Amino acid sequence: MRVPFNKPGITALELGYIQQAAGRLKLSGNGHFTKRCHQLLECRLGVGKALLTHSGTAALEMAAILSGVGPGDEVIMPSFTFSSTANAFVLRGATPVFVDVRQDTLNLDPDEVGAAITPKTKAIVPVHYAGVACEMGRLMAIAEQAGLAVIEDAAQALCSSDHGRPLGTFGRASALSFHETKNIIAGEGGALLITDPEWAARAEIVWEKGTNRAAFSRGEVDKYTWVDIGSSFLPSEITAAFLWGQLERMDEISAERLRCWHAYHAAFAPLEQVGLLRRPVIPAGSEHNGHIYFLIYPDAASCDAALAGLRAGGVDAVRHYVPLHSAPAGLRFGRTHGSLDFTTDLSARLVRLPLWVGIDETQMECVIDTVWQVTAPHERRPQVGG
């Protein structure tokens, strides 16, 4: 048996909505299904405005434009993240300042953030790794005291919360991703969430290629024209129709992923107890969405051996980020604050396991058994209830 790392969950619902979109003969962006997705996200999350984008990267790029950062400005973010987090600000001429993450949650360390602030700092970008909340209370307090914008990279965090508040609703803006590896998918896709009314007014102009076309469509102006910088950030109605089918099943999808996440978590507890690996840590008050299940091995050698064994056993386990501060573009465009020792060490010890909607008991057992075989070959796996 081979268990893939990811398998997109597609049902007749999504395909039916695509047919409906085609039948409406309106395939470009901002049509019927786009508006339905906007309304659902705004209502569900309690944000002032949601705008679908063709990717999570595009949402981050929009947020960077709205923040007004430019050459000479600095933006604090973790190094343990995807390139899009930094690229969005580098494209505006700003410098990403990479800081270390906490050893428990793998999220931005508020102590490091506070120490990294300079007169050039304009924004903080928390990344909710694996859908687990950053310490948003502390980060927001730091930002308020220093007069900085907070832009959340919530690409992995839809349906997660921090002390009851949805992730993606703390900062002035945040980015969601609907890439096929995320919980809620559209193949490629994303959304910008905006809580700041001033940013919201400008956002729809940036979103519509720098024009006031949205105001024209509402009858607020008699013609539309180019009024600001912008780009083609809208997804097609085909993408929005597929996404609508996913959003309708949002709670069902989260429950299914959490079922698998908790099965893994229980199965690997004995291995953590004897120090052979470390499981994810979920802080008090954080409700996550089961986006990623990862294991952290004691050192790079044991991680390499486990990864090779898993793949040989038919389990498509994978690593995650190469830290941005050590990447060629990170060295060129960014700078670091502090040693980032943990981030560097972490990237060599973390393995992600297969987790997707529709993974069955046999496949999960294959993953669990193989992890036990490669991690503790001379130990017997305890049976549930035994």
Common-topology check for domains 12-248 and 250-375 = no
The pTM of the whole model exceeds 0.75 = yes
Say if residue 385's pLDDT is above 80: no
Percent share of the chain, pLDDT over 70? 99
Cβ neighbours of 304 (radius 10 Å):
15
Look at residues 143, 244, 148 and name the one whose alpha carbon lies nearest to residue 191.
244
Mean pLDDT over each residue of the chain, to the nearest integer: 96
pLDDT score for 384: 58
Terminal Cα distance for the chain, rounded: 27
Look at residues 293, 359, 304 and name the one whose alpha carbon lies nearest to residue 2.
359
The predicted model gives 135-141 an average pLDDT of 97
CATH of 250-375, one of 3.50.30.10, 3.40.50.300, 3.90.1150.10, 1.10.357.10: 3.90.1150.10
Find the DSSP H helices in the chain: 12-23, 32-45, 56-67, 83-90, 110-116, 136-146, 197-207, 213-217, 237-248, 250-267, 269-273, 300-312, 328-333, 341-347, 361-375
Q: Which 3 state secondary structure label does DSSP give 336?
A: strand
The predicted model gives 203-222 an average pLDDT of 92
pLDDT score for 386: 39
pLDDT tens across 325-369, in order?
999 999 999 999 999 999 999 999 999 999 999 999 999 999 999
Half-sphere exposure of 138 (CA within 13 A, CB side): 12
Contact 58, 233 (CB under 8 A): yes
Q: Are strands 121-124 and 74-78 parallel, antiparallel or unpaired?
A: parallel
pLDDT score for 381: 83
CATH architecture of 12-248: 3-Layer(aba) Sandwich (3.40)
Q: Which 3 state secondary structure label does DSSP give 326?
A: helix
The predicted model gives 133-157 an average pLDDT of 98
The predicted model gives 130-134 an average pLDDT of 98
Q: Where are the domains of the chain?
A: 12-248, 250-375
Q: Which 3 state secondary structure label does DSSP give 317?
A: coil
The predicted model gives 263-285 an average pLDDT of 97
pLDDT score for 232: 95
The predicted model gives 312-327 an average pLDDT of 97
pLDDT tens across 43-71, in order?
999 999 999 999 999 999 999 999 999 99
Half-sphere exposure of 167 (CA within 13 A, CB side): 31
pLDDT score for 41: 98
Say if residue 22's pLDDT is above 80: yes
